[in-house]
Amino acid sequence: TSTTRLHRAPDRAEAARAAGRAFADAFGTEADGVFSAPGRVTIIGEHVDYQDGLCLPMAIGHRCFAAVRVTETGRLQLRSRQMPDDAVDVALADLAPGAVPVWAGYAAGVIWALADAHPQLRSGELGLAILVDGQVPLGAGLSSSAALECSVAQALEELLGLGTTQQERIAACIRAENEFVGAATGGLDQSASVRAAQGHALLLDCADGAVELEPWDLSEHGLGLLIVDTRAEHSLIGGEYAERRGQTESAAEALGAATLREVADAGADGVRDQLDALEDDVIRRRARHVVTEICRVREFADLLADGGVGENLRRLGELMNASHDSLRDDFEVTVPELDVAVGAARDAGAHGARMTGGGFGGSIIALVDADQMEATAAAVATAFAEHGFTAPVAFAAQPSTGAGRDI
């Protein structure tokens, strides 16, 4: 059988030094520090965050690096290694939605959001020079934007001593995305990027922001988590993502519930009765996805806490498969590339495979035996060639640590 080489995340320490050097090249002076935050995969718990649901993400090894210097210019000078021709130079006091290009908005929006509680950020005396090096693949559904936001929030906290909590930084990053960039996303990605821990999955309760770390020690059980980026690019700004979110809000309203979490907490019989009461077929299927997905996350997390991956592999895989099928059939956020990739991974023997992230493109994950990672990736690549799709890119996912300081 053929195999495919798995791409690796860049070495963190080396990548941080590279970002520091790029800062010096761009600005002719040293950065005060280099900070980074990771991308994520959702192991299970998709399109439930904005309905107060339960999600189970983990951070991946790919990170966004922000090299930052505090200046006295009153301006934000922003460069990106990925956008070398697109330097931004704007007065911090003038930051407002629409004031900078979209990529820069993810960074500028965080400063703008934090300035409400920390007016020194728009006093005109303080300035910021920031060099961004985004090593999370862009448009792959792996949260490159949350990684950028969270790396900047971490830098501001540590260099300016703002005294923000993790929750406050997460909230600022979400406002950057919702209000500054205009993507109606729900907060899962920012929480994962800030709060994830090495070797663990993060159980996130979006109703109150509470988190629990669950052991996710795949290699100890001879397993691995494969990520395959389908290269079908996705965007969460405007359009279909916002439409799905709106449909879940309509469902909750029709049921007289504040959120679909209330419905999910009603217990199996109550849930069925409530969903049956929804007349509109589309709205009912959207709601059924959210409610059943929340129940799947609860079961998945309980299994991790009780017996773990070793004792529950089969059921964990079934839950991942059911999550994908629900996102395909009820929530309708998959595209042919995602379904073909998941099908090929399952046919190749994956214990479970599902799309991860917002959908409409992006990546899948597959829970596979450690010695089958390359072969599974190759099976997906072969299926893509047969369908005439762009060649996919495969990674091994390592459960990694949240936002922090590198230098």
**Can you tell me the distance from the alpha carbon of 217 to that of 196, in angstroms, rounded to the nearest whole number?**
14
> What's the closest the beta carbon of residue 184 comes to ligand GAF, in angstroms?
9
Among 187, 317, 352, 402, binds ligand GAF (CB under 6 A): 187
**Can you tell me the distance from the alpha carbon of 13 to that of 25, in angstroms, rounded to the nearest whole number?**
19
Options 165-173, 179-187, 264-272, 391-399: segment touching ligand GAF (CB under 6 A):
179-187
Provide long-range contacts, Cβ within 8 A and 24+ apart, for 316-321: 316/351, 316/352, 316/367, 317/350, 317/351, 317/352, 317/367, 318/352, 319/44, 319/352, 320/43, 320/44, 320/351, 320/352, 320/353, 320/354, 320/365, 320/367, 321/346, 321/352, 321/353, 321/354
Options 39-47, 151-159, 279-287, 299-307: segment touching ligand GAF (CB under 6 A):
39-47
Among 12, 47, 200, 285, binds ligand GAF (CB under 6 A): 47
Give me the 145-164 binding string for ligand GAF, x by CB under 6 A, dash otherwise. --------------------
Which spans in 176-307 are helix H? Answer: 188-195, 239-254, 260-264, 268-276, 281-305
Options 41-49, 115-123, 207-215, 217-225: segment touching ligand GAF (CB under 6 A):
41-49
* 3-state secondary structure at position 351: coil
- Is 347 noted as a catalytic residue in this protein? no
> What's the closest the beta carbon of residue 53 comes to ligand GAF, in angstroms?
9
Residue 49 binds to ligand GAF (criterion: CB under 6 A): yes
Among 52, 149, 189, 229, binds ligand GAF (CB under 6 A): 189
Read off φ and ψ for residue 180, nearest 5 degrees: -90, -50
- The H-or-E segment that residue 76 falls in is strand 75-80
- Out of 52, 189, 229, 406, pick the active-site residue: 189
> What's the closest the beta carbon of residue 333 comes to ligand GAF, in angstroms?
8
The closest alpha carbon to 172, from 208, 148, 141, 144, belongs to: 148
Residue 46 binds to ligand GAF (criterion: CB under 6 A): yes
Read off φ and ψ for residue 45, nearest 5 degrees: 110, 60
Restricted to residues 344-363, the positions that interact with ligand GAF (CB under 6 A) are 357-358
CB closer to ligand GAF, 75 vs 288: 288
Query: H helices then E strands: how many in the chain?
Result: 12, 12
Give me the 221-260 binding string for ligand GAF, x by CB under 6 A, dash otherwise. ---------------x------------------------
* Residues with catalytic function: 189
Residues of this chain that bind ligand GAF (CB under 6 A) = 42, 46-47, 49-50, 185-189, 236, 357-358
